[in-house]
């Protein structure tokens, strides 16, 4: 089974306002409400690609009920821990002349509630896949991802981590199956400026040396690059289309990559489906549909630009 973890999910309230003006009443021209959070985005795309999975994390209050019910309406499985204090956050995303985001705080999670979550993690078995996505709420230990990976380390579980800087760097000692920073995050991790594809490869390999088995780097309009566990380097092209939504594109790439790998066992095909899934979401107002992904995957070229060093 595939499990996704969203520690701080949200209701994403996406609105379009023509000529947003501070200090005045602004009228909404268009509005959408989605269950949000990086792990939930991964869950939705995995399901669109016919991969059964279970969403894990914490929810609270009436907004948490909305998250659970929305996933149920989409025929998605979840085992969220219901938190007593606070409520699941609402994130407001305003699209106008510029994009503005206002993100809520989220609930307070107690030690007892955290232990209930650990009890679910402890039930994972050999062959499962665990996908850890996004930030850790400020009420929880910043080493939570490390603690989760330590708990499953003795089992044959493929762990995927999509997080930023220290959250990602600190889990490398547990040899995650896949990590997916973007090129800006990669530069930030090593405090460098990436001036070429060779630079991206060099620092992606550094992350491999530090423990990651596969390193997937999303590079926006320049495609995506994979350094595989065999030290082969693949780079994908980008599908053509108009970017209308940056939210969830990276999560869609993770889901597409995992789905492609499970179906084919090929890193090349995994990268192709990952790139198509990320592009399809970027070109959609919501997360990508299966039909759109299937259409774009035919446009994606994947080139092996370097064989393994062995």
pLDDT at 285: 81
pLDDT at 308: 57
pLDDT at 156: 96
Distance CA 259, CA 274 (A): 8
DSSP per-residue string spanning 211-276: T-SEEEEE-GGG-EEEE-TT--EEEE----------TTHHHHHHHHHHHHHHHH--HHHHHHHHHH
* 102 bridge partner residues: 92
Distance CA 161, CA 131 (A): 6
Residue 174 DSSP code: G
* 225 bridge partner residues: 217, 235
When computed from its CA atoms, the radius of gyration of the chain, rounded to whole angstroms, is 19
39's torsion region: left (phi>0), alpha (psi -120 to 50) or beta? alpha
| For the chain, domain boundaries | 2-21+28-306
CATH number of 2-21+28-306: 3.40.1190.20
Cα–Cα distances (Å) from 249 to 9, 42, 146, 254, 278, in that order, read 17, 10, 25, 9, 4
Per-residue exposure over 153-191, b if at least 16 CB sit within 10 Å of its own CB, e if not: eeeebbbbbbbeeebbbbbbebebbbbbbbbebbbebee
Distance CA 119, CA 68 (A): 20
For residue 263 the two structure tokens come to 């179906």
For residue 264 the two structure tokens come to 């084919």
Q: Going residue by residue through the chain (310 aa), what tens digit of pLDDT does each one get?
A: 999 999 999 999 989 999 999 999 999 999 989 899 999 999 999 999 999 999 999 999 999 999 999 999 999 999 999 999 999 999 998 988 888 889 998 999 999 999 999 999 999 999 999 999 988 888 898 899 999 999 999 999 999 999 888 889 999 999 999 999 999 999 999 999 998 999 999 999 999 999 999 999 999 888 999 999 999 999 999 888 888 777 889 999 999 999 999 999 999 999 999 999 999 999 988 899 999 999 999 999 999 987 655 4
pTM over 0.85: yes
DSSP per-residue string spanning 110-121: -HHHHHHHHHHH
Q: What are phi and psi of 280, to 5 degrees?
A: -65, -40
The residues carrying an active-site annotation are 251
Distance CA 229, CA 308 (A): 9
């Amino acid at each position: 089974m595939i499990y996704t973890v969203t520690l701080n999910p949200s209701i994403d309230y996406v609105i379009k306002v023509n000529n947003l003006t501070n200090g005045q009443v602004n009228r909404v021209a268009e509005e959408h409400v989605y269950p949000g959070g990086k792990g939930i985005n991964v869950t939705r795309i995995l399901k669109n690609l016919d991969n059964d999975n279970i969403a894990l994390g914490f929810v609270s209050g009436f907004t948490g009920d909305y998250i659970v019910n929305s996933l149920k309406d989409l025929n998605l499985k979840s085992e969220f821990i219901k938190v007593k204090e606070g409520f699941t956050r609402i994130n407001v995303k305003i699209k106008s002349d510029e994009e503005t985001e206002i993100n809520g705080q989220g609930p307070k999670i107690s030690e007892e509630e955290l232990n209930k979550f650990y009890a679910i993690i402890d039930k994972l078995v050999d062959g499962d896949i665990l996908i850890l996505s996004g930030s850790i709420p400020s009420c929880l230990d910043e080493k939570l991802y490390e603690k989760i990976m330590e708990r499953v380390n003795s089992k044959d579980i493929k762990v995927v981590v999509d997080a930023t800087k220290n959250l990602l760097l600190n889990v490398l000692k547990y040899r995650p199956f896949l990590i997916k920073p973007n090129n800006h995050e990669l530069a930030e991790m090593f405090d460098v400026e990436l001036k070429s594809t060779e630079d991206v490869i060099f620092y992606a390999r550094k992350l491999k040396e530090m423990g990651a088995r596969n390193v997937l780097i999303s590079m926006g309009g320049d495609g995506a690059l994979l350094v595989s566990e065999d030290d082969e380097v693949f780079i994908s092209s980008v599908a053509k289309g108009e970017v209308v939504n940056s939210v969830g594109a990276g999560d869609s790439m993770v889901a597409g990559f995992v789905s492609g790998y499970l179906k084919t066992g090929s890193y090349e095909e995994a990268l192709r489906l990952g790139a198509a899934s990320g592009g399809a979401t970027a070109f959609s107002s919501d997360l990508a549909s299966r039909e759109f992904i299937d259409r774009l995957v035919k446009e994606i070229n994947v080139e092996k630009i370097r064989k393994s060093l062995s």
